[in-house]
Amino acid sequence: MKKVLILSGAGLSAESGLKTFRESNGLWEEHDVMEVCSASGFRKNPKKVREFYDERRAQLEKVKPNHAHEMIAKLKAEFKDQIFVITQNVDDLLERAGCKDVIHLHGFLPELYCASCGTHFNIAYKKQESTTCPKCKQPFLRHNIVMFEEPAPQYQTLYEALNQSGLFVCIGTSGYVLPVGHFASMCEHSILNNLDADPALDSCFDKVYTQKASTAIDQIALDIRNYLGGNYV
């Protein structure tokens, strides 16, 4: 069966108003990234990190999915298991657009998890009130975000999806965190959509749309429909 992998990054949610630290010189909403996004920073000052993610959840509640999130949700509903939707984003904007089975490579902001028993708890946009796990009562409840210096277990899922896909669609990610140019070479066809041109990266893909995700998504949807219908050009 022909399959398509849609991998998205910060550029997908930027138009909804969510900033990422990579836009602002090592600062994410005025916080030092290593203090709030690394395992060592979390050990040093867990309260600061908890408050940081409390703020991120409060911010997430105020933003809305954009046309690109909605179109990805529509494609997923239409083609189901023929499309993998994998994102580097920790927000829930794809889910709020109605997208099913989204794989979050770097965690999911509305969730906490217990580092002792592994249970996940969805607290939506609320503050984390306690570090005590409601299930096992151990004091290891934390944000479900993969931090620097921590393994990302879903990378295995990403590689399995790449091995099954004939079309790789990369939306709103520069290739700084993941080797997306290499991923393109693993699939027969590949499409890149970023706001800024990057000649080295662009040359790895057979189609490149250098524009906003919400503008490019209609053409990308057509490309995906054509590919799954056997008419990709």
Q: Which of 31, 69, 106, 143 is the catalytic position?
A: 106
- Nearest distance in Å: CB 136, Zn ion: 3
Task: Count, in order, helices (H) and strands (E) of the chain.
Answer: 10, 11
Site string for Zn ion, 151-190 (x = CB under 5 A): ----------------------------------------
Nearest residue (CB) to Zn ion, 116 versus 214: 116
Q: What are the distances in angstroms from CA 203 to CA 127, 153, 182, 199, 200?
A: 44, 29, 11, 6, 6
Return d(Cα 229, Cα 226) in angstroms, integer: 5
Do 80 and 99 form a contact (C-beta atoms < 8 A)?
no
Q: Residue 105's beta-bridge partner residues? A: none
| CA nearest to 107, candidates 138, 148, 161, 73 | 148
Nearest residue (CB) to Zn ion, 25 versus 130: 130
Q: What are the distances in angstroms from CA 219 to CA 193, 203, 224?
A: 11, 19, 9
Range 122-151, binding Zn ion (CB under 5 A): 133, 135-136
Site string for Zn ion, 30-69 (x = CB under 5 A): ----------------------------------------
The correct pick among 10, 114, 171, 213 for binding Zn ion (CB under 5 A) is 114
- Nearest distance in Å: CB 117, Zn ion: 3
Residue 106 is among the residues annotated as catalytic for this protein: yes
- Nearest distance in Å: CB 128, Zn ion: 14
Nearest residue (CB) to Zn ion, 16 versus 144: 144
- Nearest distance in Å: CB 72, Zn ion: 33
The correct pick among 27, 77, 103, 117 for binding Zn ion (CB under 5 A) is 117
Nearest residue (CB) to Zn ion, 38 versus 131: 131
- Nearest distance in Å: CB 37, Zn ion: 23
Nearest residue (CB) to Zn ion, 122 versus 226: 122
Q: What are the distances in angstroms from CA 136 to CA 124, 129, 139, 165?
A: 21, 16, 9, 40
Return d(Cα 72, Cα 74) in angstroms, integer: 5
How large is the C-alpha radius of gyration of the chain?
18
**According to the binding rule CB under 5 A, does residue 115 interact with Zn ion?**
no
Return d(Cα 102, Cα 73) in angstroms, integer: 9
Provide the terminal-to-terminal Cα distance of the chain, rounded to the nearest Å.
19
Residue positions annotated with a catalytic role: 106
Binding site for Zn ion (CB under 5 A): 114, 116-117, 133, 135-136
